[in-house]
Amino acid sequence: MLRTVTVPSLSFSSSTHLKVSTQNTSYLAPHSLKLSSPLIGNINRSNSTRTVTCNYNPSRRLALLQLGTVIPQSQFLSGTLAPARSSEVTDQNVLEWVKNDKRRMLHVVYNVGDLDKTIKFYTECLGMKLLRRRDIPEDRYSNAFLGYGPEDTNFTVELTYNYGVDKYDIGDGFGHFGIAVEDVARTVDLVKAKGGKVTREPAPVKGGSTMIAFVEDPNGYKFELLERGLTPEPLCQVMLRVGDLDRSINFYKKSFGMELLRRRDNPEYKYTIALMGYGPEDKNAVLELTYNYGITEYNKGNGYTQIAIGTDDVYKSAEAVKLCGGKIIREPGPIPVIKTKITACLDPDGWKSVFVDNVDFFKELE
């Protein structure tokens, strides 16, 4: 409980101390302390000590106005007034906590115009599995979770179908999702055989040697196929375009606790990318941030929605986002009915993310 002490305006010489007493405890404050505001209690004066006895009333908040702050009982230590805990110290503690938080990219959420058709494409062409599906008629939407492994260990997609909406504006800010495959050419052939759209034939990536291709799902979302060996996380990338790459890297490192895994500049093609995540990119899903020279703003459309990230504390996660220049658009707390604790935020470019309580997430899966 916070206790505060209020006394009238008093100034003492360098040899004088002020003894401040509540009904249970006494504190000795330094001689330089000058206090003011209405008195509650009694003052007893002697040559070297002024004793103020306060009848502690927990229903009244008493302030040391001359110091410009409320001083809690815990800051009076060992016969002297301990320095107030500065906001800088508190801020640093939060950011240090972020580094040790148990975080993982859980799923990416976006809207689709035909849920059944999209599920069919993802399972038959991209090799995903339908993990769960639910309909929420009272809110007029349905969603489905698909991926290459269980939700408690793998990154997945959450498809959302809003009743009556069959088309979305994807915009030019969202880039693509990445999928690691053993044979890009064979996967492209399968997509073509199923009637899918190929927008880039298999070929080495610009400025590199990795074999890639691009395909589109029935809603127009692009998927980059990257040729790799076996990996525990085939759904491996979400690419978003940003207007200031250094700003974005700093934000995701400090407030999200992500590592900068690699950065590559391609002056020939006038763009720079940075891959960020919670572990090596060959074993974990990563966020690929792309900066195109001279472009600072993008149309985000209304198709792509957000990335969900697991955390041990949504309240501290929200504080870290605020400290690093992000915006909280949903204050931390439980969702009605299911009680899962979340908080939602925007990064400096306006991209949305949601932090989900780890324990609550596992309960939801059960």
The torsion region of residue 126 among left (phi > 0), alpha (psi -120 to 50) and beta comes to alpha
Just list the catalytic residues.
224
Q: DSSP of 86-130, one letter per residue?
A: -HHHHHHHHHHHHHHS--EEEEEEEE-S-HHHHHHHHHHTS--EE
Distance in angstroms (rounded) separating the CA atoms of residues 226 and 210: 7
| Cα-to-chain-centroid distance, residue 67 | 35
Q: What is the DSSP letter of 357?
A: E
Q: Which of 265, 217, 197, 243 is CA-nearest to residue 347?
A: 243
What residues have CB less than 8 Å from 260, skipping those under 6 apart? 249, 253, 274, 275, 276
Q: At what angle do helices 314-323 and 87-100 cross, to 10 degrees?
A: 120
Q: 34 vs 11, 21, 31, 108, 249, CA distance in Å?
A: 5, 16, 8, 56, 46
What residues have CB less than 8 Å from 297, skipping those under 6 apart? 243
